[in-house]
Structure 1
Amino acid sequence: MAAACRLCGSTGLAGVVDLGATPPCESFLTAEQLDEPETTFPLHLRVCTECWLAQLPPLITPEQTFTEYAYFSSYSTSWVEHARRFVEERDLRPGAFVVEVASNDGYLLRHVVERGVRCLGIEPSANVGQAARDAGVPTLTAFLTEETGRRVRDEHGPADLVVANNVYAHIPDVIGFTRGLRALVADHGRVSIEVQHLLTLMELNQWDTIYHEHFQYYTVASARRALASGGLTLVDVELLPTHGGSIRLWAVPDPSAEPSPRVTDVLAMEKAAGLHELSGYHDFAARVAKVRRDLLRFLVDAAEAGHTVAGYGAPGKGNTLLNHCGIRPDLLPYTVDRNPYKHGRFTPGSRIPVLPPERIAADRPDYVLVLPWNLRDELVEQLSYVREWGGRLVFPIPELEVVS
């Protein structure tokens, strides 16, 4: 039986790129698990030729990934600053009520709390939700469904602002989730959604952001249809630099609301790039293959020349990159990460040790392979000390670049 699009039900799904089979990207291994088998799942991105929603089949469930989660948003200085600016730019009056879905460790709502505005986080991961509560951010441990949205509304009242950052791609039931957003928001309220833009993913070879916890990848065209499926109307869009290129979608419950000129402009950009027809997706797999070959060639040449290489960061995207390229500890002996949760663990599939960041200064490697390339400006500053011994930074995306 042919797979069907989870948004419109069409069976017209066309392959975009097949990255093989990998373990879930956040399933970091303990030392005790290294002698155990790992389950892998196909990582084949397809696009619906009816509604143009790019998607992976739902081979894992959100419960498998997000019940306990390895990602804590507050470890990214630039992301916390991004959240602070967002809150500052909103006209949040003392009587307002703000709900954030997938609120993580309170990285955004803590700024709302500081302003004395009532808020609630809805976070499915018990461990990161507890970190938010410890920081003084009211947080409900739950996945958002239409039922959850109604329950929160009944208990706390409708929300003037609902925020959903980097979660709209993480749920296979996109229609049910959208109905949950509608249940939360007041009739006069607004919903703000930030999600990676498929346009920049395609144009800048950001294929490592394809992993199992991202079930779909949005254009504004497909996002508008997804929002409408749950009773929300897209009224505005902002282009953001975060995560390599994101869109901030503004939606309201009013079906008669008119979209801003920016919506029309971005739709035109997508159409010009060919993303509203199949031709725009044809050469992506070849560009992925070139990035893979170039990175492997660099690492093999470095090893044969006796140069040392360490990794920086252990993000989900890095595990797609490492596994599709077949990079193992012989080419990358270790990577480091600021998140203590990952220290002493091993990357899924590639089984590369994750160590504290101080290890780089101690070892003074010739090259540092930066896996969270989307935080380039932040990390170039953090890693400026590598220049002291003549070390160089390596960025694999959008194309291999070695910088001093």
Structure 2
Amino acid sequence: MALSEIYRLDAIPVQSCVLLDTAAEARGFRTAPLVLCFCDACGFIFNTVFVRELVDYASTTEESQHFSGTFNQFAKDLAAEIASLCRLEGKRTLEIGCGKGEFLKELAEQTGTIGLGVDPGFIPERLAVESGHDIAFQREYFDPATVPFSPDFVVCRHTLEHIPDVKTFMADIARAIGQNEGVGLFFETPDVRRVLDEGAFWDIYYEHCSYFTLGSHARLFRAAGMDVTKLYLAYDGQYIIQYAKAAPGVAPLENERDLDDIRRLAAAFPERVSAIRARWTEFVTKRHAAGKSVAIWGGGSKGVSFLTTNGLNEEVSRVIDINPFKQGKFLPGTGHRVCAPEELRDSPPDIVIVMNRIYLNEIGARLEEMGLTPELVAV
């Protein structure tokens, strides 16, 4: 296995979606180095110095994106797609890394599945479950030994990228499935090809220790004895969507054959990401020096990475987020307070940098409703 280093950061917050009560606590939040290496043989990218014990998902983690209408519609559409492709009524679905449970609830509503969600960060009082939906939750890390049934369908969204030993994780899924052949699997994982191509440093953070392309994602499953049946990119090309079956595989899908392109992008990434970091640092610092008020919209992982990677502090006046559970809390690393959009009325910013371009229209409409017309740009 030939590994090459493609990106290094000396100190970044070990968690970026954690809720912190004071600016001092946020500025003193623990940091650790990140070293991304690329495997030339399979295309897998991972943080070689990741320390699992530094990340506590059972703490005050706030990862939910379901306060966005755009994201909510995406989740509903995904559930509808699963319903159209998989007969789940009365079947048992296991969701690994269910977060706050919103997607499992939606899936149960659309399919009639019997669901179990597993996540150490699940908060029972955050989810209202209507009668007639048979779903339950375990507030713990996934362990096949504690799953009380052999599932007919496995869902895993935005979790694989948090797993350092992905081969062991796949083996654990196989243990949970047991002898139940033909079990369907649905995975949704961030796509690193776009990150490499765009130099998107804001999409690299400590919790994400494993990075996949369409090809490396599928190769992981095929190596675990599973067949990849459907594979594509969604959400403006940001997310890998993969369907698989616990059955011997057939020939790879055409879009799995990406290794030559990924080798080229990985080799070019150090220069590319350096240029993009410099461009955004200059963009912010020039406007700050000219007396402009710069805000960023997005108080999650992208926002934290954008600020801490480039050492931006007072150059950014405010951080905005529509998630009410983030508002009033402080970002790890820089200590920026997270503001509700309504707070902008009292002191409108000159520039708003949107941390995810797919939300540009949604955010633009929100600003227009408030009568605000800042310069609006997206990373």
Aligned residues: 368
Pairing of 1:183-194 with structure 2 (within 5 A): 183-185=175-177, 186-194=180-188
Q: Deviations over 1:73-113 (max 9, x none)?
A: 32232222222112222243432222211111122111233
SS of residue in 2 equivalent to 1:383: helix
Alpha-carbon distance in 2 for matches of 1:288, 1:107 = 34
C-alpha change, 1:35 and 1:238, in structure 2 (3 Å) is: closer
Instruction: Please tell me the residue identity of whatever aligns with 1:390.
Output: T
Alpha-carbon distance in 2 for matches of 1:133, 1:58 = 40
* 1:331 CA displacement: 0.9
Superposition misfits of 4+ residues, deviation over 4 angstroms: 133-137
C-alpha change, 1:179 and 1:383, in structure 2 (3 Å) is: farther
Alpha-carbon distance in 1 for matches of 2:26, 2:70 = 37
* 1:133 CA displacement: 6.5
C-alpha change, 1:295 and 1:88, in structure 2 (3 Å) is: same
1:213 to 175, 195, 207: 207
Partner of 1:105: 100
Does the 8 A contact of 1:105 with 1:130 survive in 2? no
Instruction: Please tell me the residue identity of whatever aligns with 2:330.
Output: F
* 1:332 CA displacement: 0.9
C-alpha change, 1:28 and 1:106, in structure 2 (3 Å) is: closer
Compare relative contact order (CA 8 Å, sep 6+) and give the higher one, 1 or 2.
2
Once the two structures are overlaid, the 10-residue window that deviates more, 181-190 or 357-366, is 181-190
Instruction: Please tell me the residue identity of whatever aligns with 2:329.
Output: R
C-alpha change, 1:308 and 1:191, in structure 2 (3 Å) is: same
* 1:134 CA displacement: 6.2
C-alpha change, 1:35 and 1:298, in structure 2 (3 Å) is: closer
C-alpha change, 1:28 and 1:114, in structure 2 (3 Å) is: closer
2:352 to 354, 368, 376: 368
Alpha-carbon distance in 1 for matches of 2:367, 2:152 = 41
Alignment RMSD (CA, Å): 2.5
Q: Structure 1: any 5+ residue segments left out of the alignment?
A: 1-9, 398-404
Does the 8 A contact of 2:294 with 2:351 survive in 1? yes
Instruction: Please tell me the residue identity of whatever aligns with 2:202.
Output: D
Alpha-carbon distance in 2 for matches of 1:290, 1:246 = 24
Once the two structures are overlaid, the 10-residue window that deviates more, 34-43 or 312-321, is 34-43
Partner of 2:158: 166
Alignment of 1:60 with 2:58, yes or no, is no
* 1:230 CA displacement: 3.6
Alignment of 1:252 with 2:235, yes or no, is no
Q: Structure 2: any 5+ residue segments left out of the alignment?
A: none
After TM superposition, the score normalised by the length of structure 2 is 0.88
Alpha-carbon distance in 2 for matches of 1:354, 1:93 = 40
2:218 to 224, 227, 242: 224
Partner of 2:6: 16
C-alpha change, 1:143 and 1:381, in structure 2 (3 Å) is: same
Identity %: 22
* 1:234 CA displacement: 2.3
Q: Deviations over 1:167-209 (max 9, x none)?
A: 1111112122112322344312211111122222212222211
Partner of 2:306: 321
Does the 8 A contact of 1:309 with 1:333 survive in 2? yes
Alpha-carbon distance in 1 for matches of 2:71, 2:173 = 23
